[in-house]
Amino acid sequence: MTTAATTRKSAVGTAHTRVEGYDKVTGAARYAGEIPFAGLAHGWLVLSTVARGRIRSVETAEVLAMPGVLTVLHHGNAQRLNTGYIGLMGVPDPTCAVFQQDRVPFMGWPVALVVAETSEQAREAAEALVVRYEEEPHDIAFAADRPDVYLVDQGPAPAETGKGDVAAGLAASAVVVDAEYTTPEEFHHPMEPHAATARWDGDLLDVVDSNQGATWVVSELANLFSLDPASVRVRSEHVGGGFGSKGVRAHQVAAVMAAAALRRPVRVVLTRRQMFSLTGYRSPTIQRLRLGADADGRLRALEHSSVSLTSTVYEFLEPAAAASRALYDADAHHTVNRVVRLDVPTPSWMRAPGEAPGSFALESALDELAEKCGIDPIELRVRNEPERGPVSGLPFSSRNLIACFREGARRFGWADRDPRPGVRREGRWLLGTGTASACFPVIAWPSTAAVTAEADGTFTVRIAASDIGTGARTALTLVAADALEVAPDRVRVRIGDSNFGPATIAGGSMGTRSWSWAITAAAAELRERLASGAGIPPEGITVRSDTTEAVGALSEKERHSFGAQFAEVAVDVATGEVRVRRMLGIFAAGRIVNPLTARNQFTGGMIWGISMALHEEAVRDRASGGHYGADLAGYHVATHADVPHVEADWIDDPDPDDPVGIKGIGEIGIVGAAAAVANAVRHATGVRHRSLPIRPDRVILAGAGGTADAGGTGTVRGTGTGAAGGTGAAGEARA
């Protein structure tokens, strides 16, 4: 090893701006919908306007005569697809396997694709296309007590886990919390809408797309169209956000189908409104938490049950109750996820699926328990730290939850907190603080990578990774630089191309960990080869890696990232306004590769938690079965003005079993964030809000004497002149 190498500062752990940042801010970076193709035609999807029924006719004649229209694809003329396979994420969602049936299972189901010379012509024709339906009554009434709620028997994790006797545990407990929490239908719309261009070159299929995994999309398209995966290439160089929504969706399949029918490139771009039924969402949840504890707060019983919904054509489970499987133990411990099929679009993975809504319920319930026991919420968590995985019995790879709380408490000023609710007033605002735990699984999936030592002394890394805005490309550059013991500016990382070989998805917070593992392995072998001192030929020296064996050899452990969330809120109970004043998140989430983009990931999740707590809610219109206000004017997320001082930091927590020490940071930022806000609202006002979002009308109605969904033990006194003025005595918010 040279002296230069030993004194080189590690690139990993050093703040680095995005390597493609200049291209992005100057517009040089091209996204899937704006890459030019010669002879490009444009497809526009036509979605059903009924929520359940059968297509009687698609009246194409008039539309085919419109200017520029090339074809109309629908169930009557579309090519048959193979849907009888099990892919990376299970069987395919029929929503993506377009135009295979005349049944309409939900409002917004793709019924046709109009292809024309220009996007405008396609749109005008698509809007003019008459589709006639035999409409049937739809059922979108989501409720936990429906008789058709059932236990899902699929998926990577069991739907139900249990040990001990919950009823007996509750009966023997000095303190019991038994409460229902609900979260609404939530959407994850990236700034860049879904877009794909498909082009056939002889028997080779070339797709330019915006996705979270080129390998994944190749395998789905190869299956659906009965192609050799080697004849399919998917590229996705820049992705303007994904959040779980960018897998295989109807637009890619429709584009491939149309490109085959017309033998020319076809692009399909989704509108924001189309995304509300085609690209997934987080199912609403109805969750019940039953906690039993001794007077000192030690849990005897923990039961977390959740009901979510799915479509009638595909079984997707939002595993909210799984949030309770790693955090807290009890002799009696039961978690169960159930689902009900309704005439609604298929939900999907959305940032921290399960953990985001599950942590709202669990961490709210813990806060309720702390208050009932008269124990500080952090101390309650300290007293319930498990030695081993509560469900699995396995040891933790590392567990630094309490260290996060200690550091967070110190920086947030938690020690000075008066636990009494509803006693801090500043003008018209009641102030409160809240905290919550965060926990998210640590995963690695096999990947391959190729690292080339170029003749000019630089290095090229090729991996079918996907940078969905996280900064993954930059993180991989830093990892590769350290593995090659060179400066980052000598490393070029190329991603987003299935020709680079199989690699896992940007999902499950595992992308950077899994890809880094493959890059590190290839780089290590390359350095050995270079150490022999032989010259580098003009084509360079390339080493390929495959981590299938190494990842498979990981011992069974409870592997998680952890975090402690803190929030301060201000609530005007006279007008129902809730504003977050500051948030702090301290995380133990493995080695942090790039502090700059990592902080962005954490705070992005926390800000999403503010949105989840206070704003986000898609409203379904009972009569039509479709959405009310399906756009980003109607579906509110936090604006800049809603996001005050949000700070994220981390403690040292390298993963001992990962070559780089990485755990994964993509999702944990949202986990527990909404609960911290809701717990702060309780502390501010004395009202426990168990239904998200904590809307002004809910705050006002709770202030007027409490409602079913905002009941709790405390209610804000009436909204007469005293409270209304916002200038009353500090204690007025207490019942």
Site residues (vs other proteins, CB under 8 A): 49, 120, 123-124, 127, 428, 574-577, 579, 614-615, 619, 621-624, 626, 628-631, 633-634, 636, 638-642, 695-697, 700-701, 703-704, 719-721, 723-727
Nearest approach in angstroms of CB 615 to other proteins is 5
Closer residue to other proteins, CB minimum distance, 394 or 704: 704
For other proteins, give the closer residue by CB, 458 or 624. 624
> What is the nearest approach in angstroms of other proteins to the Cβ of residue 284?
15
- Kindly tell me the sign of the dihedral angle through the C-alpha atoms of 153, 158, 160, 164: positive
Which residue lies nearer to other proteins by CB, 189 or 290?
189
Greatest C-alpha distance within the chain:
87
Residue 610: which of 639, 576, 587 has the closest Cα? 639
Put residue 122 in one of left, alpha, beta given phi > 0 → left and psi -120 to 50 → alpha: alpha
Q: Within 10 Å of residue 191's Cβ, how many Cβ atoms?
A: 9
Kindly state the smallest distance separating residue 696's Cβ from other proteins, in Å: 6
Shortest Å distance, C-beta 629 to other proteins: 4
- Residue 454 or 577 with smaller CB distance to other proteins: 577
Least distance (Å) between residue 33 CB and other proteins? 16
Written in H, E and C, the secondary structure of 106-146 is: CCCCEEEEEEECCHHHHHHHHHHCEEEEEECCCCCCCCCCC
Residue 649: which region, alpha, beta or left (left: phi > 0; alpha: psi -120 to 50)? beta
* 667 tagged catalytic: yes
If phi > 0 it is left, if psi is from -120 to 50 it is alpha, else beta; for residue 629 that is left
Task: Return all residues near 361 (Cβ < 8 A) that are at least 6 apart.
Answer: 181, 183, 285, 287, 289, 304, 306, 320, 323, 675
Catalytic residue among 124, 371, 616, 667: 667
Which residue, 12 or 107, has its beta carbon nearer to other proteins? Answer: 107
Shortest gap between Cβ of 121 and other proteins (angstroms)? 8
CA-based Rg of the chain, rounded to a whole angstrom? 27
Q: Which residues, 6+ apart, have CB-to-CB distance to 635 below 8 Å?
A: 187, 189, 616, 617, 618, 629
> Distance between CA atoms of 684 and 692, rounded to whole angstroms?
17
How many angstroms separate the CA atoms of 631 and 621, rounded?
14
| Nearest distance, CB of residue 214 and other proteins, angstroms | 32
Residue 166 or 702 with smaller CB distance to other proteins: 702
Closer to other proteins by CB, 63 or 701: give it. Answer: 701
What is the rounded distance in angstroms from the CA atom of residue 524 to the CA atom of residue 110?
48
For the annotated catalytic residues, the residue numbers are 667
